[in-house]
Structure 1
Amino acid sequence: MRCGHGWEQAYEIQHQVDAGGQTHVVYYADGERVPSPLTRPTCLNCGGNVVRIMRAGQVSMVSNAIASMHQRQHGTKNGGRRGSAAAGDTAAGSTAAEGERHHWHLSDLLHPFHHHRG
Structure 2
Amino acid sequence: MSEFTGNTGRRDGATAVVHESYSFACMRCGHGWEQSYEIEHHVDGAGHEFVLHVADGRVVPSPLSRPACAHCGGHIVRIMRPGRVSSARDAARRPERRPPAPVPTVPPARHHWQLSDLLHPFQRKAG
Question: Given the two structures, how large is their TM-score scaled by the length of structure 1?
Answer: 0.58
Structure 2 regions of 5+ residues with no counterpart?
1-26, 101-127
What is residue 2 of structure 1 aligned with on the other side? 28
CA distance in 2 between counterparts of 1:28 and 1:61 reads: 25
What is residue 87 of structure 1 aligned with on the other side? 99
What is residue 79 of structure 2 aligned with on the other side? 53
Question: Given the two structures, how large is their TM-score scaled by the length of structure 2?
Answer: 0.54
In the TM superposition, 1:1-118 aligns within 5 A as 1-68=27-94, 72-73=95-96, 86-87=98-99
| CA drift at 1:87 | 2.0
CA distance in 1 between counterparts of 2:46 and 2:76 reads: 35
Q: Which structure dedicates a bigger proportion of its chain to strand? A: 2
In the TM superposition, structure 1's runs of 4+ consecutive aligned residues that sit over 2 Å from their partners are none
- The AA in structure 1 aligned to 2:62 is S
Give per-residue Cα distances to partners, 1:82-109, cap 9 Å, x unaligned: xxx6229xxxxxxxxxxxxxxxxxxxxx
| CA drift at 1:46 | 0.7
What is residue 96 of structure 1 aligned with on the other side? none
CA distance in 2 between counterparts of 1:23 and 1:51 reads: 29
Structure 1 regions of 5+ residues with no counterpart?
74-84, 89-118
| CA drift at 1:37 | 0.7
Identity over aligned residues, as a percent? 54
- The AA in structure 2 aligned to 1:30 is D
Bigger radius of gyration: 2
CA distance in 1 between counterparts of 2:72 and 2:84 reads: 20
